[in-house]
Amino acid sequence: GAHVAAIERLNGRLNAFITVTADQAMDAARRADAVLAKGEAAPLTGIPLGIKDLFCTDGVRTTAASRMLENFVPPYESTVTANLLRDGAVFAGKTNLDEFAMGSANINSAFGAVENPWKRAGDADTVLVPGGSSGGSAAAVAASLVMGATGTDTGGSIRQPASYCGIAGIKPTYGRCSRWGTIAFASSLDQAGPMARTVEDCAILLQSMAGFDPRDSTSVDCPVPDYRAACGRDLKGMKVGIPAEYRVAGMPAEIEAAWDKGIAWLRDAGCEIVEVSLPYTKYGLATYYIVAPAECSSNLARYDGVRFGRRVPAPSLDEQYEATRRAGFGAEVRRRIMMGTYVLSAGYYDAYYLRAQKVRNLIRRDFERAFQQVDVLLTPTAPSPAFAQGEKMDDPVQMYLNDVFTVPASMAGVPAMSVPAGLSASGLPLGLQIIGRSFDEESVLAAASAIE
Ligand code: GLN
């Protein structure tokens, strides 16, 4: 009840939710109370969550923040959200995002931008972005509208908004959470994960979300460990790598300082700090912005106005495709589709897409080599704290540069988490990123809980 009231009070300003399911949430909360009264609680009984509006929810509108799916009501539940419901969670509504999860500031939503609940010290007027694409989830958790939220991360969309909003968020190993029923952006990169105020809350939510699903061919059939037990685990002897290539030119001094503090905290906790090298890091962004648009152009071809979603009727089929896409897709989505079809086209495939796949393998091998020396890596999550709405908006490349520290782990498929690590000089939250070996989310959670 208190959470629903908080949403009703604050969502008008924050715009964190596209759809609020207050009545269903209150009914579910009453049922949860009855279950609790009988002493039969499941792991998440009665816990109010926000669900990124990219997860299909049975009977509840699912838009991907796009005009294309403005009135789409799925007749099925995604595996991840079904797992959360099985464990007793209560959904407060569907959270805002960049259209089809493409963006880093949550300004690309057809339902309007999301406001970061944080303000710069002494500056109550400037509206800051929450990061993206899971900006609605991050803002809802940071403002205590819900206790946790789901996100998806293709190149940083859980970690970067978590960092900008001062909360924790983990992108698990690719294959850990089922992609079934989650609207696809770039299928070889997309991974669902939790966002919450503490590392332990993330562990509890991930426990429920994760697991093998035969309906997703890339879901991996391996046991899900006890994530909660990993939080607060003794770190004595853990080897933590500091990748030299992440000390990029022009990084603000306060980000460096936060990183140094994180190193000191882990050293104090008994970790051994080791300098490592990931030489192909510098190609991460360029490769990501070939692979992700290529896969997006293929995935978004299904929004043709014929089978589901928006349809703008026209005299011929070709004209109907054109009119539907013109009405349905925003500017960033169109840009990505055009980049994607270009790098996949017959004359350019070898020069761009094929080359990017090869470099992606080199990036993956960088991590394999580093993880022969160390157990986890520690880096900043993003090269800056949250910026103002309106900044970096007329130059897409400036926006893409935000993702410099998050895309390499996505390209390699390894787990990575952002954890709050203090405030900037302007009073804004800064996040540090912990990257781990494939399927070793436990070490990531353990190291993160020593930092928060
Ligand atoms: N900011 C990146 C992009 O725009 C990552 C988005 C994501 O992880 N979904 O593609």
For residue range 348-370, what is the model confidence (pLDDT) as tens digits? 999 999 999 999 999 999 999 99
Residues above pLDDT 90, as percent of the chain: 94
Cα of 86 vs centre of ligand 1, distance in Å, is 29
Cα of 285 vs centre of ligand 1, distance in Å, is 11
Q: What does the pLDDT average to over 59-78?
A: 97
pLDDT at position 401 is 85
pLDDT at position 395 is 84
* Nearest-angstrom CA–CA distance, 147 and 439: 26
pLDDT at position 45 is 96
Position in ligand 1 atom list of the atom nearest CA 158: 8
Contact 168, 115 (CB under 8 A): no
Lowest mean pLDDT among 84-88, 98-102, 390-394: 390-394
Q: Is ligand 1 within 6 A of the CB of residue 185?
A: yes
Q: What does the pLDDT average to over 19-27?
A: 94
pLDDT band, residue 141 (cuts 50/70/90): very high
Q: Is ligand 1 within 6 A of the CB of residue 155?
A: yes
pLDDT at position 248 is 86
Cα of 133 vs centre of ligand 1, distance in Å, is 6
Q: What does the pLDDT average to over 156-185?
A: 98
| 101 phi-psi bin (left φ>0, alpha ψ -120 to 50, beta other) | left
Q: Is ligand 1 within 6 A of the CB of residue 201?
A: no
Choosing from 66, 134, 137, 157, which is the catalytic residue?
157
Q: What CATH superfamily classification does 1-282+362-452 receive? A: Amidase signature (AS) domain (3.90.1300.10)
Q: Is the pLDDT of residue 425 over 90?
A: yes
pLDDT at position 199 is 98
pTM for the model: 0.97
Cα of 101 vs centre of ligand 1, distance in Å, is 6
Q: Is ligand 1 within 6 A of the CB of residue 102?
A: yes
Give the up-direction half-sphere exposure of residue 268: CA atoms within 13 A in the CB hemisphere: 8
Q: What does the pLDDT average to over 76-98?
A: 98
Q: What are phi and psi of 295, to 5 degrees?
A: -70, -35
**Residue of minimum CA distance from atom 4 in ligand 1:** 103
Cα of 104 vs centre of ligand 1, distance in Å, is 6
* Nearest-angstrom CA–CA distance, 131 and 363: 25
Q: Is ligand 1 within 6 A of the CB of residue 135?
A: no
pLDDT at position 77 is 98
pLDDT at position 400 is 86
Q: Is the pLDDT of residue 26 over 90?
A: yes
Q: What does the pLDDT average to over 209-234?
A: 97
Q: Is ligand 1 within 6 A of the CB of residue 153?
A: yes
Q: Is the pLDDT of residue 127 over 90?
A: yes
Active site residue 236: no
Choosing from 78, 133, 178, 208, which is the catalytic residue?
133
Q: What does the pLDDT average to over 230-251?
A: 94
Active site residue 52: yes
pLDDT band, residue 337 (cuts 50/70/90): very high
Average pLDDT, the chain: 96
pLDDT at position 330 is 97
pLDDT at position 165 is 98
**Residue of minimum CA distance from atom 10 in ligand 1:** 102
Q: Is the pLDDT of residue 424 over 90?
A: yes
Q: What confidence tens digit (pLDDT) does each residue in 242-274 have?
A: 999 999 888 899 999 999 999 999 999 999 999
Q: Where in the chain is the domain with CATH 3.90.1300.10?
A: 1-282+362-452
Core vs surface per residue 111-134: b (16+ CB within 10 A) or e:
bebbbbbbbbeeeeeeebbbbbbb
Active site residue 188: no
Cα of 156 vs centre of ligand 1, distance in Å, is 6
